[in-house]
Structure 1
Amino acid sequence: MDSLLTLFAAGLAAGAMNALAGGGSFVSLPALIAAGVPPVQANASSTVALFPGGLASAWAYRDGLSPGAGGVSLKVLLAVTVLGGVSGALLLLHTPSAAFREALPWLMLVAFLTLAFGRTVGAKLRARGHIGKSVMLPVQFALGVYGGYFGGAVGIMMIAVWGLLEGVDPKQLNARRTLMVSAANLMAVATFIAAHAVYWEQTAVMLVASIGGGYAGAQLGRRTPARVIRIGTLLLTAAITTWFFVRAQ
């Protein structure tokens, strides 16, 4: 019962974080591991638990979708992302638990650094140059793989890449970001379910809680200064990332 209550609280927090600034997996994944779920299956279960919230966000942004990115059609981007998501999910399922446990702190560090500096770095890169369509597709595939494999802060990574291609305001890319992240996660979710990699009791508790947390987070976001949200998110994700490195020693 204690572990289920912990998972419910973690689901609330993860849903709220995703609604506010991203990084919900920083809470959901450690909670599942602490509840006794093996690391690979914990990552799969976390993806499934947080998927409905991301899908709801994609639906909410549907009116803001653009035809594509820098001359690459939305359908092509979607197909490449879906293919990457399946590849990443399969790669995760074929990663030994011990190897994934060793890689996990570094994956979380990459996600934390992206949360902390991704937008700043993206803005500086946009000021210096652009990338072409020939580079866009393999990079988008790689982002889909990362999304299916781990996915932390992948939306921010996508915005940074697309900004280099188009040079537009990142806010205009939110609709496309949520769609692509949801597409990669959808294929990952389907793959994890088909492979029986989901711990359903723990996942169901977290899934229900994350929906409520997402709604509460959206309401809180309207009343809380963006700076406060960002600082709180970075402090929490930094603490959890540090804990994973200490735990790995």
Structure 2
Amino acid sequence: MSLADLLLLIAAGFAAGGMNALAGGGTFFSFPALLAAGLPPVTANATNAVALWPASLAGAWAARESLRPLGRYLIPLLLAGLCGGLLGGLLLLAGGDSVFALLIPWLLLAATALFAASPWLSRWLAARRAEALHPPHGPLSLGAHVVVSIYGGYFGAGMGILQLAAFSIEGHPLARANALKNLISAVIYSIATVTFVVAGRVSWYELVILLIGATVGGYAGGALGQRLPPIFLRTLVILVGSGMTLYYFWRTYGAP
């Protein structure tokens, strides 16, 4: 690895950790940096997913008290996340670098659109209220969770927004929907991490560098959270996501 790649990954990890602590969207910094450092697309995505794994576990642990009253209600959701995350990871590995490279611009476009629409989506979801502690599971709702989990195991950017929408539409209050999102995200990232590690598609050297940068960036982001205007941060993520999307569309479909 060259010094330029090393500095790029540290900077990308710092930016990703900071943005995740402030506004989300860190994948728009870390994933393209791993590609730019020379990793094949599937390896870059697998390494990025493993880098997000500790944060997902921390989020689930922090939400444990909100989820404790749900008890056995969680079992079908956990199974949906487990099966969907495993299937998404296996699809990524089975499709290989050539298929995933063709999908990268479309996946970045979907993630950018979801991130850009999230304030309006959150306001709409916040207007919904649930009276029941356990909104009933149905084939359509569980099927939607499996589809979102497959997406999460395959790529993951924007997955949290999709999960939040699915849980809120079912009738969960926004706070509980967020706790459920954290739990199922942890399941998806855990099974995807195991899948990628077993398959040998994680680049550990780049992963360690990314995690160091992300840890420092997360601390800096938490410290700056009260000083920087949220609109500035969201705009930055949207601009980066849009730029990356246009670049990868050009690189994949337009470059000679």
Equivalent position of 1:15 in the other structure: 17
**Normalising by the residue count of structure 1, what TM-score does the alignment of the two structures yield?**
0.89
Decide which moves more: 193-202 or 118-127: 118-127
Equivalent position of 1:185 in the other structure: 189
Uncovered stretches (5+) of structure 1, i.e. residues with no partner: none
> What does 1:1-249 align with in structure 2 at a 5 Å threshold?
1-65=3-67, 67-68=69-70, 73-121=73-121, 124=124, 133-134=137-138, 135-166=140-171, 168=173, 170-248=174-252, 249=254
Once the two structures are superposed, what CA deviation does each residue of 1:85-117 show, in whole Å capped at 9, x if it has no partner?
Answer: 111101100113111111110011111111111
1:62 maps to amino acid:
R
CA distance in 2, matches of 1:167, 1:61: 15
**Normalising by the residue count of structure 2, what TM-score does the alignment of the two structures yield?**
0.87
Decide which moves more: 105-114 or 71-80: 71-80
Uncovered stretches (5+) of structure 2, i.e. residues with no partner: none
Q: How far apart are 1:167 and its partner, in Å?
A: 5.5
CA distance in 1, matches of 2:14, 2:87: 29
Report SS of the residue matched to 1:222. coil
Once the two structures are superposed, what CA deviation does each residue of 1:14-41 show, in whole Å capped at 9, x if it has no partner?
Answer: 1112222222111111111111100011
Change in 2 beyond 3 A, CA 1:167/1:74: closer
CA distance in 2, matches of 1:200, 1:25: 18
Q: CA RMSD in A?
A: 2.4
CA distance in 1, matches of 2:207, 2:228: 29
Q: How far apart are 1:208 and its partner, in Å?
A: 2.1
Q: Alignment length, in residue pairs?
A: 246
1:12 maps to amino acid:
F
CA distance in 2, matches of 1:240, 1:186: 27
CA distance in 2, matches of 1:216, 1:118: 24
1:29 maps to amino acid:
F
